[in-house]
Every structure is written in structure tokens, then in C-alpha cells.
Structure 1
């Protein structure tokens, strides 16, 4: 038992003894006489009020890891679920895209669902048949129609290639659909390092610079693992490729989540339209100006619209409109903390529900990460030409990224820039405090320093994957909460699996091996 909890319990016990003593004295005075009773009542009411005032500070929750709501909505704010009466959203579909910071989001969902005893739609292994399109039958415990009563699933969040019709067989259409995107230039560096051994195109190239200088010398459509080498975000969203559209000579029909008009879907008219694919207006506009800032490392000659034919341009327009009607929110990795605040607002969650540590960070790129400081270094890309080539080669991903960057900041404007900055500062302070409280050294460490296998991330790719070591001497309650924050995604998935299917035998053969890149990857 921690010292703070001991003090709290001692004060509470002492207060109860005082109350019992005064109650006993009151009974004796009542027996003494009516005049004495009135005097006693006045005295004891006064003493009771003083006692209540003195006792009030000790009636709060004992000090621990989780505090009450750390920010309050400003009066008169609009467009915020926290500014009005709302209920926390607990039916969630998260499309976990590769190499985009999605493992950190997954960790938050694991923790939230675990604390609230929600039911996850879990894969039989660690992914839903990726890179094949998602199928409802790949969900453990899923019963097809006619197979008996189907217990409801609350959260679907592990790796898949998105397939809306099959997702709707598992999750209700009014679930909150969200995902995350990352600048294709930063994503290219991470993917090349991580998937070099499994992508034939990456494996044949001596370096990322050599690959991007002449990608068609290495890349062959349909090559083994080569979906990692080009437009990986587009692939994960389950979108068709331009060559498929050329073969069909038509565009796919938009598939909506529901035909019911009473189910809220974020209107596409309220976010940036597909025509706003201007690479010079990409990043966060300053709060004191309505104009977008010019990105110094973006080449106007390599915008996605200037390097695509009419079929591709038309397909991009269709895809963005369809995604707007399907996903309620798309986070942006480069503005991770801002995205989390807006996610908490949309879900009517508290700030602590989106405070967590970064997961699946490669040791080569994120040394001494303290929890998570946001991803604003663009993957370490300093060569402007290399970045421009990466965006041009991944032109479909670039279109997604520009569009959802705009939509995120449109939402930020509705939330309020000053309010957003304040919430982000509180979130970062909270994360830093948790890291200092929970972690040995207060930061992520190389995998070789992690002796506890339950906290050691699965290692894959050229660089090691960072993890966490907990401090010794934590109270049982704090240790449980800190362990939730530090547990990697594979081990947490196994924990949830054992909780939902307690009779299932967990075999060591289920663990991924070096030939299975998919279990991590974000």
C-alpha cells in the first residue's frame, strides 16, 4: 500500500471515530433533559459543519495515476461534443494503417476497452488475413447469420485491408469509423527499413535513394510484398488501383455505410473537397492568420494531380468523396497530439482516455522518446528532392494525405485553435508525468534492455523496436495501470484474447516469426 493511500485511509478512519463519539454524546444529553437537548443540537450542528469542512479534502479519490477531467469546454463553444451533454462512444472501427503511428492508437483502444470490459472483434492470429481483404469470418467467435445469437462487438481495430461490406457484417453501421494517415515521404523511409526483407522491390534496391531515383527498375506490380513499396495507405484503405479502373473502364459505385438517414455520417461538404490538392497549402495554418503556410520542402512540379492521367485524377476524386462519407475522422500522424484531442472530443471521451505511450517506434529513428512527443520530423527526411520523389511515387497516398490534413485543420478550426493548443499542452504534460512515474529512466529503451518478455515488443525490420521497462516499487494499482500503458500490441491482443475466450488454449506456436511481418508494422 502506498503512503498516500495509507494517509487517506487513516484520515477517513479518524473522521468516522469522531462522528461516532459525537453521536454517543448526543444520546447522553438527550437522556439528560429537553433543555440540554436543544443546547446539544446547536453545538453538534456547528461541530458537524466544521467537521464536514475539515473533512472535505479527504473525500476525494486517493492520489493515483488517473485524475479527473483536465480541461473543460469554453462557454459558448460550438461543434464540440464536450460542450454539450453526450455519452461516450464505445462502438468503434479503427482502420490500422501501416507505418503511420497506428500502433500507438491501437494501444489506447486496447486500454480503453480493457478498462470498460468491452468486447473486441479479434483476429484468430494477429491480423485479419492481411494483405487479403477483410472477411467477417476471420473474426474469432464470429457467428454468421443463422449460426446462433451473436454477442455484440464493440471495437474492431487490428490490421486489415479495409472491406466495408464485410466490416458491416461484424459492426453496426453507426459505429464510429476512423483511421490515420502519414506523409508518404516519412512513411517511405519507415517502410523501406521495416519491409526491406519481404518486399521484392525494396530488397532489390541498395538504398531508398536508389529506389526512388528509378523505382520502376525495381518495382513490378503484383510482386511479392510490393504493396508495401507503393501507395501503402491507399492499399490499406481497400481502394482500387488506376490500372483496375482502366480495365473496367468505369468507376466503382459508392457503397454507403447505411441507407438510414437518422444515422450521423460526417458530411463531406464540411471538409476540404478533393479539388483542394494543393501541395503548397499542406501544413497547419497559423492561428493568427487564415492563410495556409507554404511548405518549404514541397515541390509544386510533383503534386499528385500533375503526374496522373485523367483516369487516376477521376479515381482520386471518387475515392476522397467515398472516404469522407465512410470515415467520421482521419487522424494525421504529423499532428498526433492534436488528432488525439479532436478524437477524444468526437468520441466524448476524457483526456486520460487518449493519453498513452508511443508503440512500435524503431530504435533508429526515435531514441529517447519520452512517451510520445508527436511526429513532426517527417521521418527524418532532410533531402527535399528525396521527399518530393517519395510523394510523387506514392501519388495516391499523397492525395489522401493532403486531403485529410485539410479536413483535420478544418475540424480544428471548429473546435477552436486556442482551446486545442491548451488541451494539447495538458495532454503532453499528462503523458510526461505518467512516463516519469511509470518508466525506468522516464523514456523508451532499446529492446535488449527489456528482460520482461511481456513488455518486449516483437522485433522485425532492420532497426530494433523500442519498448519500456517499468519502475520497481510501484503500488499494485499503479503497476497495473503502468503495465497497460507499456504493454506492446501483440501481448495485449493475447491478454484480451484470453479474457474473452478463457477456455481457449494459448499455444506458443501462435507467436509470429521472422517471416511474418504483418503482426506489427505501424
Structure 2
């Protein structure tokens, strides 16, 4: 077949145009499968108050690993609804809730959301304060962008502090479409942690000096179970944080108590079953501490969040030095029996979690692998050393110091729970009270001595 020179030139140009178009299409399609570094997303989507926070610096963690085949497959798993920005996190005790609370605080802080905070408490917690319809007026800090005293507009986006669950009252001050979530832990681990943290051994025989000589925490718990009901009653007479009898509520079935079922109903089997049914209907997501990463992936998809939104560095975890003992299977069973309601609650919601995982889609484990790699990279890039904080005779926390010159995102991820909560609180305080704290908020640091550098990310405990 014969072609003229002009025709050949036109065909050549057409082929070149098609090749260029093909290359562009392939490049754009490939890039759509790769998650952008999260600092880039923050630059585009969030505005910060420079007067409070100072100049922003960014140094993202290494996200090159997100370009492998498994991450492309995982990236295809996407939600189909609007991103959830209103979350009431019911913070249970000794379950890993501080780590989850830090995730929620960071999410809300970066989006200028309004938090429920007790204005009479430096940490914002409400604990077991009875919530009433006028609580926003009498107890809470006002929301952002609302005139102080305009109580009808005291509506909030987030709850992340300790407060006992009361859905009827919470719905009166939370904004519409708020999602309610919590975290549960196997009672054999939760009770052991609570026993140490809240020092239930104060009611054991002997003085404090002799109790120190009991060999291990496990031995102390075994002694507790020689007369648990007697020791439980004795806790009513002791103070915690200046409140008489507070430790009594921590010492048996505390997780369902945090979720709103009062102690007087714990012996009523029908009341317990009905209340658990109620929680199953009302709670949008229950994180299981033993499967925290799996739970957060499910939450990510359910709430249309990103992997970057659920990054974390563990908070308030016990040091290895403070856990230099083992708990026998028999003792674990005793702790589960003692906390039988919590154990039933835990089993039900653990089963619910795995049903959600099974319905997640074929890419779940690919995305889980990616998420864990990203968590490890976050830990290595964003932390530089650790410090310990002793709380009483038996309890010692390990926390991590933010690495130097890593930028704002790493700072928020790595800093202590207290520092981030202070930022949240200062920003939400009325201007006349806020002005003197601006410089403090801009220079929050961990004023503790660094221990040897951490080289491995530790799990939540």
C-alpha cells in the first residue's frame, strides 16, 4: 500500500500523540492508587492558628513502602459515604484507651473540632460525674466559635475524656450524626492492670512495708482472691484522687460500669442481658484491645478515614520492668470469673469485630500488613528516646519523646497525652483566659530525662 509523505507524517504524529496520551493515563491511574504523604494532605486540608502553633514544619515518615503491589490492592478498598468527623469515644479504664484517645484528639485537633471538656479539671476528665441536661452550662468548656453563655448552641463534635456513658443525655449536647465508640479488653488483662494502677493491694493484710515484700503482683492478686468480696468492700473506705470509694468501682466489672450499667444492676441477669443488647444497638464501633490494629482498620473504613488518621504511638503503656512477672492460666480464669459481666461483654463484641473483618473485603490482610509497616516507620521516624513515669508503688509507664526536627505531624503523634490535651484545652478556652497560655502552647515539651533510644515499636498494654 502506498502512502504519501504528508500522510506518513500525519500517521507518525498520531502515533506519538497516542503514546503520550497512554503514558499520561497510566501515570495518573498509578498515582491515584498511591496514598499521598499525609503532610501534603494536611497542607491542603487544614489551617492552623500560627499565633498558637508557630511556623509549621513538615517531615513525613517514609511512605515509599505504600507503592508496592499489596498497597495498591489495599488502596482500592474505599468507603462509599461521607467522612465521619463527630465521634464520642467512651474511654474505659486500663484497656489501651489512652492510645485511642490520642488518635481521636489528634484527629479532632487537626480539624478544629469542639471537644467535651470539664472546665473545672486540668485534664478535662469527667470520670463519674453525673451528666445532666445542664452539664454543658455548669461544667463544660464552651465549643469553638460559640459565644460564651450562648448555651443553646453548646454542641460538640468529640468526646475523648473519661466519662460514664449516658446516651440519652449525651445526645442532647453532641451534634447530629455523632458516632459512639469504645474499647474493651480481656478482663484477665484489664483487671490485672487495674489492680496495679489503682493499688488494690492497699486493702490486703499488713502494712505498706510488708506488702512491698510480697514477691510479685501475681502473688498479690492471688491473695486478693482469697477473700475478694471482703477486700472489695474495704475499697469503699479508701480515697482515690480525693474521692472516697472511687476504687470500689474500678475493682469489678469496671468496663460495663464505664459503659453505663450501674453496680446495683450487676446481680440482675436479665438487666445485664438487656443492657448488653442496648449497647449492641447503640455503639457504632467497639475496638478490641488485643486486636487494636485490626479494629482501627475496620474503623478507618467504616468512618471513611485514611491510614494516616489512625497512625499512633502507644501511650501510657507499662514498662517491661513493671511487668517482670507472669500470670498463670488459672489466675487469668479467676479474674475473668470475678469480672464475668465484662468477660461476656468482651466475648460478644470480639465476635462482632471478627464478623466485620470477614466482611471487610479480600484486601484486609494486605492493608493490615501495610498499616503495620507504616506504624513501625512512624515510630522509628517520630520518636527519639523514652522516659518513665512512676505512678505509685507498682505502676510505671513508658512514653516516647518526639524526635527533633521531624515536623508538626510527628510532634502530635509522639508527644504525651497531656501535651496534646493541653493544646486542645488551651485552644477551646475563652480568649480572656487563653491569651496568657499562647506561649506555653507553642513551646510544649516533655521535661523528662531520656532513657536509651527505643529501637522497636511496643504494643499497647
Q: TM-score, normalised by structure 2?
A: 0.69
- List per-residue Cα deviations over 1:320-348 (Å, max 9, x = no partner): 10101110111110111101101111111
Q: CA deviation at 1:215?
A: 0.8
Cα distance in structure 2, aligned partners of 1:203 and 1:131? 31
| 1:223-262 equivalence runs, <5 A | 223=237, 224=245, 225-241=247-263, 243-244=264-265
Q: Report if aligned partners of 1:199, 1:229 keep a CA contact under 8 Å in 2.
A: no
- Summarize the Cα distance change of 1:91–1:366 in structure 2 as closer, same or farther, 3 Å threshold: farther
Q: Report if aligned partners of 1:192, 1:229 keep a CA contact under 8 Å in 2.
A: yes
- Summarize the Cα distance change of 1:148–1:402 in structure 2 as closer, same or farther, 3 Å threshold: closer
Instruction: Give the structure 2 partner of residue 118 of structure 1.
Output: 113
User: Is 1:129–2:142 an aligned residue pair?
Assistant: no
| 1:61-76 equivalence runs, <5 A | 64-65=60-61, 67=63, 71=71
Instruction: Give the structure 1 partner of residue 162 of structure 2.
Output: 159
- List per-residue Cα deviations over 1:489-516 (Å, max 9, x = no partner): 22211111112224325799xxxxxxxx
Q: CA deviation at 1:100?
A: 0.3
Q: Report if aligned partners of 1:86, 1:348 keep a CA contact under 8 Å in 2.
A: yes
Q: 1:170 aligns with which of 170, 173, 187?
A: 173
Runs of 4+ in 1 over 4 A off after TM superposition: 59-63, 66-75, 142-149, 197-206, 457-461, 505-508
- Summarize the Cα distance change of 1:427–1:461 in structure 2 as closer, same or farther, 3 Å threshold: farther
Q: Report if aligned partners of 2:322, 2:394 keep a CA contact under 8 Å in 1.
A: no
List alignment gaps of at least 5 residues for structure 2.
Answer: 1-12, 41-58, 215-219, 238-244, 441-460
Instruction: Give the structure 2 partner of residue 497 of structure 1.
Output: 425
Q: Report if aligned partners of 2:197, 2:391 keep a CA contact under 8 Å in 1.
A: no
- Summarize the Cα distance change of 1:88–1:420 in structure 2 as closer, same or farther, 3 Å threshold: same
Q: Report if aligned partners of 1:185, 1:388 keep a CA contact under 8 Å in 2.
A: yes
Instruction: Give the structure 2 partner of residue 217 of structure 1.
Output: 230
Q: Could you say what the CA RMSD is over the residues aligned between the two structures, in angstroms?
A: 4.3
Cα distance in structure 1, aligned partners of 2:228 and 2:283? 32
Instruction: Give the structure 2 partner of residue 100 of structure 1.
Output: 95
Q: CA deviation at 1:459?
A: 4.6
User: Is 1:331–2:287 an aligned residue pair?
Assistant: yes
Could you say what secondary structure the match of 2:407 adopts?
helix
| 1:397-416 equivalence runs, <5 A | 397-416=342-361
| 1:119-518 equivalence runs, <5 A | 119-124=114-119, 125=121, 126-135=123-132, 136-137=135-136, 138-141=139-142, 147-150=150-153, 152-196=155-199, 200=203, 207-220=220-233, 222-223=236-237, 224=245, 225-241=247-263, 243-244=264-265, 312-364=268-320, 382-416=327-361, 418-440=362-384, 445-447=386-388, 459=391, 462-472=394-404, 474=405, 478-501=406-429, 502-504=431-433
Q: Report if aligned partners of 2:318, 2:397 keep a CA contact under 8 Å in 1.
A: yes
Aligned length: 373
- List per-residue Cα deviations over 1:292-317 (Å, max 9, x = no partner): xxxxxxxxxxxxxxxxxxx6322221
Q: Report if aligned partners of 1:73, 1:83 keep a CA contact under 8 Å in 2.
A: no
Q: Report if aligned partners of 1:440, 1:469 keep a CA contact under 8 Å in 2.
A: yes
Q: TM-score, normalised by structure 1?
A: 0.62
List alignment gaps of at least 5 residues for structure 1.
Answer: 1-41, 246-310, 368-378, 448-456, 509-521
Cα distance in structure 2, aligned partners of 1:152 and 1:67? 37
Q: Greater Rg, structure 1 or structure 2?
A: 1
Cα distance in structure 2, aligned partners of 1:413 and 1:199? 45
Q: Report if aligned partners of 2:195, 2:201 keep a CA contact under 8 Å in 1.
A: no
Cα distance in structure 2, aligned partners of 1:338 and 1:110? 20
Q: Report if aligned partners of 1:99, 1:190 keep a CA contact under 8 Å in 2.
A: yes
Could you say what secondary structure the match of 2:193 adopts?
helix
Q: Report if aligned partners of 2:201, 2:224 keep a CA contact under 8 Å in 1.
A: no
